[in-house]
Amino acid sequence: MRNKKVLVMCTGNSCRSIIGEALINAKLDGVEAYSCGVAPSGKVNLNAKKVLEENGIWSDDYYSKHLDEVIDIEFDLVVTVCDHAHDTCPMFPRPTDKIHVSFEDPDGKDYEAFIDIYKEIEKVLLSKVTDALS
């Protein structure tokens, strides 16, 4: 894969989509990931940041943002990672392939839940994105 752009969307853009963005950027060569929320919280969950730091893939470039900030980027794939984002996923300026892979929201749970969701996103999302871009 070369020069593919993927958008990972959820509701708050504080946990799952940030973790997905970081994992895609770290593990999939030739794929550039972004993330956003349909109703962004405005902050990255501290446990999500911690799990990314512990795995060596945190970047200060990751922050909670609204879809409006990335809508003009020509994405090859949009991935919704929560049911609310899937149900409210907007139309993009040009036709864009979309997939939905729902993950449980770890927000408000203990740190172990973030480790678990990191592992699940790494295992499930990366292969689904790779398949969708092939």
Catalytic residue numbers, as ranges:
10, 82, 89
Q: Is 44 within 8 Å of 18 (Cβ atoms)? A: yes
Q: In what order do the strands lie in the sheet with 77-80?
A: 31-37, 4-10, 77-80, 97-100
Q: What is the DSSP letter of 29?
A: T
For the chain, percent helix, then strand, then coil, each to nearest 5? Answer: 40, 15, 45
Tokens for 38? 């349909």
Phi, psi angle pair for 49, to nearest 5°: -60, -45
* Helices (H), ranges, the chain: 16-27, 46-54, 83-88, 111-120, 126-133
